[in-house]
């Protein structure tokens, strides 16, 4: 359930990959692999701020919310 650890730390705030690694005590390469999987599943997204790539829980658009049960 390592992906749940990552999702839990991202619920609090946006983090870099290395910050996620430190918070979860997981190897950096493993965090990257899981983040890419979570992106494919539509659960997280990345954004760039101040030259850093940050990760956060994906924010759903109103259209996605409207059709989530279709």
pLDDT at residue 5, as a whole number: 96
Mean pLDDT of 5-27: 97
Predicted TM-score (pTM) of this structure: 0.84
Judge whether residue 60 has pLDDT over 80: no
Q: Residue 11 in 3-state DSSP?
A: helix
Q: Where are the domains of the chain?
A: 2-66
CATH top-level class of 2-66: mainly alpha
What is the spatial distance between Cα 54 and Cα 47, in angstroms, rounded to a whole number?
A: 5
Judge whether residue 68 has pLDDT over 90: no
Give the model confidence (pLDDT) of 18-48 as tens digits: 999 999 999 999 999 999 999 999 999 999 9
CB contact set of 34 (below 8 Å; sequence gap of 6+): 2, 3, 6, 26
């Amino acid at each position: 359930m390592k992906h749940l650890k990552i999702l839990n730390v991202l619920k609090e705030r946006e983090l870099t990959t290395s910050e996620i690694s430190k918070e979860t005590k997981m190897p950096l390469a493993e965090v990257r692999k899981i983040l890419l999987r979570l992106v494919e599943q539509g659960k997280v997204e990345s954004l760039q701020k101040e030259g850093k790539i940050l990760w956060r829980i994906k924010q759903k658009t109103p259209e996605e919310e409207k059709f989530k049960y279709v």
